[in-house]
Structure formats: C-alpha cells, structure tokens
Chain A
C-alpha cells in the first residue's frame, strides 16, 4: 500500500531521512513527467490524528523548498505503484494545468469572525397565547433565523470585498468560504507569488488596523485550496 503526500513537476527525490506519517520513510515514485512523494504503509486505511496530519503537512512543506507541489488531501492510499500511476495518468491533463497555475506561488489564508452590524430583533408584539399565537411565534422565529443568516452572509461578503481590494493585485486566485450564523468564521485563501508574500502580509495588516477587524493570516501553505482538478 502506498500513502500519497503530494505530486511534483518535475519529479525530484525527497531528502534522505525525511519521515512522514508514523515516521515512515518518504520516497519518490517517478511517474514520468510527474513525481509523487509517498510512503509504504501496511494498511489500506489510516486513522486520522493530529500527529499524522502534522506529519503529512511537514512532508509537503519540505517539498515546497524545491518548488510548488500539488498537495494531496490527507488519507489517500493506493494499492501499489501501478494504481498510483493509473490514477495520475487518468488526470494528467488536469494535473499539468494545475501545476502551471500554482507554479512559483503559495497559499495565504485569512480568517476572521464575522459580526453583523447589529442583532436584528423581529417585533413580537401582538403575540398571544393559544395555537394562533404559537404559530405566529414559530413563523417569527424562522424569519429571525433567516434574517440573521442573511446579515452574517452580507457582513462576510463586505469584508471579503475589502480584502480583495487590498490584496487582489497581489494574488493570482482566490478561494472563499463564507460564514454562517452557526459558523461565524469566514475564510479566504489567495494564491500568492512567493515574492509577494511580504507585501501581502503588510496589506492585510493595514486593512485589519484600519477596519478594526482581527484578520488572522496564516501561511505560506502549499496550494491546498487551489488543487482542485476541475475540467
């Protein structure tokens, strides 16, 4: 069984002694014009743990020292080298396009807590007891829930647009995950050329200070959010 960390183009060997999940040795599977950093694992599934997740990312970060890998999602295990080669070959065109898109860039991620301008209160006057009052209260509660959802969505979108205005010229692409009332943390990731990372951090810092918003920047990451193989 082979555990996959990332794909590279051109293929290059990992440094001697590089350890991955469960301290297993990492080695290269050369698949022609694409390489894969992998470990041999004893089972077809790998239970997640924080240490294993960290090990997965550590291997990918090491690959970033030599270029821009396409990071694999955690937990992908294939039967053997032939299965890996077959899976890569079936997506070769999309992979090559993805390599071209991310080359020389890293992912920077901003997260912030979305706070609507105000908590909306739906008027509840006139609600009386009995089944009619209960029905009205139920409908008002649903309306309030929808209103809150829209406010969170709008507040997140507003800040996203401000961020785009501040760093859009420094980024090749953007991936946004909006907040909801249940999950009020919004996330936006940018694909940023390596040489632009310092300017990117400065721009986000200035925006956060001027807006009074805690914009938390993390990165550089491998381009996890930009490794979708969309036709």
Chain B
C-alpha cells in the first residue's frame, strides 16, 4: 500500500479495515474472472492485523480512561472454558 494518506491513527485504521473487508471481500460477482480478488487477499490480511492492533490500542485507552478493564463484566456471561 503506497497511498499518500498513510499512516493513519487507530480510529482511521479501523475504519480503513472496515472499508477493505467490505469492498474487497464482499459484493456481487457477475464475472468469472475477478483477478483482483486474488491479489486482494494480501490487502485483507494486512488490514486484519492492523485492525486487531488498532482495536487493542483503542480498548487500552478506554480502559485507562474508565479505570477498569474492558470485558470485566462480560466474563460472567461467557461459557466455561472447559473445552469439553
């Protein structure tokens, strides 16, 4: 990716990841030879790793602002991790 509008902040990276996952990976296909979709996989993979990193950063910021760990209240509703 060599576009001049990079680098982005965390929120912009998440937004870009949303955009790429929609436009490159979804939508109607009416021709049998979407060559770009094969090349697009790389961009999606890059986008995904950026997304995970950006989401973690945003969550850490929220946690530090609120003074509590995100997900703390959610643990009670998750299934037991027995794996059985």
Contacts and interface: CB of A to CB of B under 8 A. Distances in A.
A212 B15 contact: no
B29 A48 contact: no
Interface residues of A, number: 65
- Would you call the interface of chain A mostly helix, strand, loop, or mixed? mixed
B59 A113 contact: yes
A185 B52 contact: yes
Interface residues of B, number: 50
A56 B21 CA distance: 13
Contacts of A169: none
Contact of B55 (A45, A214, A221): A214
A115 to B, nearest CB: 5
Given A98-B28, A116-B81, A109 B39 contact: no
Given A48-B40, A75-B36, A57 B30 contact: no
Contacts of A184: 52
A48 B78 contact: no
B57 to A, nearest CB: 11
Nearest to B45: A183
Contact of B78 (A49, A158, A187): A158
A117 B75 contact: yes
Given A76-B34, A150-B83, A224-B22, A50 B16 contact: yes
Interface of A: 4, 7, 44-51, 53-54, 56-57, 70-78, 83, 87-88, 91, 95, 98, 107, 109, 111, 113, 115-120, 146-147, 150-151, 154-155, 158-159, 162, 183-185, 187, 210-214, 216, 218, 221, 224-225, 227-229
27 contacts: A4-B30, A7-B30, A49-B1, A49-B3, A50-B16, A71-B26, A72-B27, A72-B28, A73-B24, A74-B37, A74-B40, A75-B34, A87-B31, A95-B28, A98-B28, A111-B14, A111-B51, A117-B75, A117-B78, A183-B48, A187-B21, A211-B73, A214-B70, A221-B22, A224-B22, A224-B23, A229-B30
